[in-house]
């Protein structure tokens, strides 16, 4: 079966493991990464040669039409990020054929977006969830098709039951909803080595903060203040060195953000003599004594492995953008993580760096994993869909 991963905004090397491309091939599937980043005015950062061999680039309508002409006659599965589904609708209208299927996924989410839901929203969802036990609510999809898009997914992949959106109950058959786990759990399941605790290691989860408006231009539109690039890295390195001494750490390692490849030359020397690592964040956090960062989604690893976290804030994080501030302070206010202001000469002692086990567990079951499934989430869903198609 041909499986097409539609990538309109970003294509990174880590998608190879995330989407389980090697495993799909080994199990007889034909995975294709449809790189549409150029068509939507974005840029792919993938450099992996194997990834390139599985990638088809489409930058024009003509490219998409030519791509469609080469599709096999049997049903093809399009895998599309749920938020992108309406956006890519016009292109899907070109590519999609009557026999094809759509798997929409929402497997990585900023928790603060859900915490803002009103009590009314929660009440309505509770009623729908209960009704779903005895009524086929997916017949309401005609209303969603009229209001939103005719590209209603045939299947839906989600991290946890808590995150399964109301619209999915009203559009997708119950047996076609896959509740597996968050993307970060896929990376954790890949770890084959046991944690090595013979050294006390601090890990800084880099977010490329001074490059925010370049890595996420739709979210962070204002330019970064002049001079912040040098100021930021000087403050971070100074604070990390203080913590290394205060906590008696043997080493501090920098887990670079995946987009660090976009500004590699500008990062040169910014982390001084600290060792920098790209693409091994889960393993680093697993072995960490303490984790330092801002509001990174990679904090999922720290929660899963029950690691104490120090959140760095400064004037930029507090004042640049409401979204940036909210995503950072969510972890401080809701998960009980420790805050340290980079603009002040303050530190936390060993006894003050701890975790709130109850809040960590609540976060884990809501946003990361609420079941015992121990395989790649995308493969889990795709395998079930293939079985469905073979029965048709």
> Sorting pLDDT into bands at 50, 70 and 90, what band is 67?
very high
Residue 279 vs residue 104, higher pLDDT: 104
Q: Which residue has the higher pLDDT, 60 or 392?
A: 60
- Does the structure show a pLDDT above 70 at 118? no
Q: Model confidence at 148, in pLDDT bands (50, 70, 90)?
A: low
Q: Specify the pLDDT at position 283.
A: 93
Highest mean pLDDT range out of 110-119, 126-135, 263-272, 352-361?
Answer: 352-361
The band of 150, judged by pLDDT with boundaries at 50, 70 and 90, is low
- Residue 340: the pLDDT is 92
Most confident range, picked from 110-124, 216-230, 356-370: 356-370
Structural contact between residues 255 and 166, judged by C-beta atoms closer than 8 angstroms? no
**Residue among 279, 231, 221, 237 nearest 255 (CA):** 279
**pLDDT at position 146, please?**
64
Q: What is the pLDDT of residue 167?
A: 84
pLDDT at 370: 94
**What tens digit of pLDDT does each residue of 1-26 get?**
999 999 999 898 989 999 999 999 99
| 133 against 278, higher pLDDT | 278
- Provide mean pLDDT across the span 37-56: 92
pLDDT surpassing 80 at residue 134 = no
Convert 231-255 to b/e letters by CB count within 10 Å (16 or more is b).
bbbebbbebbeebbeebebeebbbb
Angle made by CA atoms 276, 281, 283, in degrees to the nearest 5:
110
Looking at residue 286, its pLDDT comes to 94
> How many C-alpha atoms does 26 have within 13 Å on its Cβ side?
5
87-101, 115-129, 227-241: least confident range: 115-129
pLDDT attached to residue 27: 96
Is residue 140's pLDDT more than 90? no
Percent of the chain with pLDDT over 70: 93
The answer for 320, left when phi > 0, alpha when psi is -120 to 50, beta otherwise, is alpha
The DSSP element (H or E) to which 235 belongs, if any, is helix 228-247
How do residues 336-364 score in pLDDT, each as one tens digit? Answer: 999 999 998 887 776 778 899 999 999 99
The secondary structure of the chain in percent helix, strand, coil, rounded to multiples of 5, reads 45, 15, 40
pLDDT score at 110: 62
Q: Could you give all domains of the chain from N- to C-terminal order, each with its CATH number?
A: 2-181+370-391 (3.40.50), 190-368 (3.40.50.2000)
Per-residue pLDDT, 168: 87
CB 14 within 8 A of CB 37: no
Going by pLDDT thresholds of 50, 70 and 90, the confidence category of residue 313 is: very high
State phi, psi for 105 to the nearest 5 degrees: -130, 150
Q: Specify the pLDDT at position 285.
A: 94
Hey, what are 166's tokens?
């109301």
Q: What's the mean pLDDT when you consider all of the chain?
A: 88
């Amino acid at each position: 079966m041909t499986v097409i991963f539609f990538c309109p905004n970003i294509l990174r090397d880590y998608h190879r493991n995330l989407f389980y491309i090697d495993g799909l091939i080994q199990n007889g599937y034909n995975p294709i990464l449809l790189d549409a980043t150029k068509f939507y005015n974005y840029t792919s950062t993938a450099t992996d040669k194997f990834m390139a061999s599985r990638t088809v680039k489409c930058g024009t309508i003509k490219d998409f039409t030519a791509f469609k002409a080469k599709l096999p006659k049997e049903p093809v599965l399009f895998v599309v990020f749920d938020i992108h589904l309406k956006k890519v609708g016009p292109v899907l209208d070109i590519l999609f054929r009557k026999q094809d299927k759509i798997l929409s996924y929402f497997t990585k989410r900023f928790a603060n977006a859900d915490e803002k839901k009103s009590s009314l929203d929660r009440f309505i969802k509770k009623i729908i969830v209960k009704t779903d036990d005895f009524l086929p609510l997916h017949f309401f999809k005609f209303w969603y098709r009229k209001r939103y898009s005719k590209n209603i997914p045939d299947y839906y992949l989600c991290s946890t039951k808590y995150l399964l959106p109301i619209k999915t109950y009203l559009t997708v058959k119950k047996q076609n909803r896959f509740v597996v786990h968050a993307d970060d759990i896929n990376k954790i399941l890949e770890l084959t080595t046991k944690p090595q605790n013979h050294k006390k290691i601090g890990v800084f989860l880099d977010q490329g903060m001074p490059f925010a408006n370049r890595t996420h231009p739709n979210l962070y539109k204002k330019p970064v203040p002049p001079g912040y690039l040098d100021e930021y890295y000087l403050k971070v390195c100074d604070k990390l060195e203080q913590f290394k001494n205060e906590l008696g750490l043997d080493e501090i390692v920098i887990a670079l953000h995946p987009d660090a490849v976009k500004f590699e030359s500008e990062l040169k020397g910014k982390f001084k003599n600290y060792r920098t690592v790209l693409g091994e964040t889960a393993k680093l956090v697993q072995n960490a004594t303490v984790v330092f960062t801002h509001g990174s989604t990679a904090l999922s690893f720290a929660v899963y492995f029950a690691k104490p976290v120090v959140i760095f804030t400064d004037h930029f994080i507090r004042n640049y953008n409401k979204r940036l501030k909210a995503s950072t302070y969510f972890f401080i206010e809701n998960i009980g993580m420790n805050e340290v202001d980079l603009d002040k000469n303050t530190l936390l002692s060993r006894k003050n760096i701890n975790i709130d086990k109850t809040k960590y567990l609540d976060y884990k079951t809501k946003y990361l994993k609420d079941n015992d499934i121990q395989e790649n989430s995308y493969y889990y869903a795709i395998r079930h869909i293939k079985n469905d198609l073979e029965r048709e």
